[in-house]
Amino acid sequence: MTARIILISLLSALFVLLPSTGYSRTLTACGHPFYPPVSWINNKQQLTGLAPAVTQQLFAELGYRVTLRSGYNWKRCLLEVQQGNADIIVAAYHIPSRDAYLWFSSQPVIVDQITLFVNRQKPLAYQTLDDLKGKVAGLLLGDSFGEGLDQFLWHNTRIEYVSRNRQNFQKLAQQKIDFMPVGLLSGNLQSRKLGFYEQVMPLNDKITTELYFLAVGKHSGLQPHLTFLNRRLQEMHQDGSIKRLTEQYSLQYLDQTTAEPDQ
């Protein structure tokens, strides 16, 4: 048998084995369930938003299908990837504690301007982080706002954790917590959609600026694709795609017929 015939036979067998969809492999991804427009669970109980859309698009260009999982809180999503049960986190902050089990893109998915949301009737007087000492902070399980702010909150405030964002907004409206740190865009979208805009407001001061990155599990074998992912993320920022998707999913969140039932 000639080499040409052998090659043709091998290629034929390969095409027979490939799935009819044309995808070489199905990957699983999860994301923050309560952080529009980056990602959230919609009223159909599906993970949606800017980051899931970008993740599916870029990995489809690489020949993968991405299945989005939606049954997790944020802490559980991180744990699923850490334990090897999921391959991708569609958007996450790059903090040292996550380096043990995640590879991060070097290009961000989106820039996140972090501020403090407070009660409108009893706003927190804030000029520096020292003004937060002894106060009660409301956080979601698994939340991080960068290593510096995380450490400050841990050592200087009393933190009350919840699993759903509606709980934090409600506690803030009822003055059961003093503040909650959250991205300005996401916090404003949620306060309007969840019905707390009249009770809750953001402070004018920006606390920190963090970046959401696409992250792949170290078990996943996807690290070689990071160069491609970084190039495409950069292109999507340069051509305005990320900005358009941010606006699209912000409107989609606000236009939902009902707020997320799990919040």
Residue 250 belongs to a domain with what CATH number? Answer: 3.40.190.10
- The verdict on residue 9 lying in a domain is no
- The verdict on residue 30 lying in a domain is yes
Q: Are residues 95 and 106 in the same domain?
A: yes
CB-CB contact of 5 with 234 (8 Å) = no
Digit-coded pLDDT (tens) for 139-182: 988 888 888 899 999 999 999 999 888 999 999 999 999 999 99
Please give the pLDDT value at position 17: 36
Q: Are residues 74 and 96 in the same domain?
A: yes
Q: Are residues 187 and 219 in the same domain?
A: no
Which CA distances in Å does 176 have to 97, 119, 159, 160, 184?
A: 30, 10, 12, 10, 21
- The verdict on residue 251 lying in a domain is yes
Q: Are residues 130 and 67 in the same domain?
A: no
- The verdict on residue 260 lying in a domain is no
Q: How many domains does the chain contain in total?
A: 2
Please give the pLDDT value at position 228: 98
Q: Please give the backbone phi and psi of residue 46, each rounded to the nearest 5 degrees, phi first.
A: -120, 140
Q: Are residues 203 and 231 in the same domain?
A: no
- The helix-helix angle for 165-173 and 184-193 (nearest 10°) equals 80
Residues of the chain with confidence (pLDDT) below 50: 1, 3-21, 259-263
Please give the pLDDT value at position 257: 63
- The verdict on residue 3 lying in a domain is no
Q: Are residues 50 and 78 in the same domain?
A: yes
Q: Are residues 133 and 180 in the same domain?
A: yes
- The verdict on residue 96 lying in a domain is yes
- pTM of the model as a whole: 0.84
CB-CB contact of 91 with 31 (8 Å) = yes
Q: Are residues 66 and 118 in the same domain?
A: no
Domain interval for residue 140: 113-210
From the list 205, 201, 225, 200, the residue with the least C-alpha distance to 215 is 225
From the list 217, 246, 232, the residue with the least C-alpha distance to 27 is 217
Q: Are residues 50 and 104 in the same domain?
A: yes
Please give the pLDDT value at position 4: 47
- The verdict on residue 1 lying in a domain is no
Q: Are residues 125 and 199 in the same domain?
A: yes
Please give the pLDDT value at position 85: 97
Q: Are residues 225 and 98 in the same domain?
A: yes
Strand, coil or helix: 13: helix
Q: Are residues 97 and 169 in the same domain?
A: no
From the list 9, 10, 23, 33, the residue with the least C-alpha distance to 61 is 23
Copy the structure tokens of residue 182.
């959250």
- The verdict on residue 262 lying in a domain is no
In angstroms, the CA 220 to CA 3 distance is 35
Which CA distances in Å does 253 have to 34, 42, 94, 179?
A: 11, 8, 25, 24
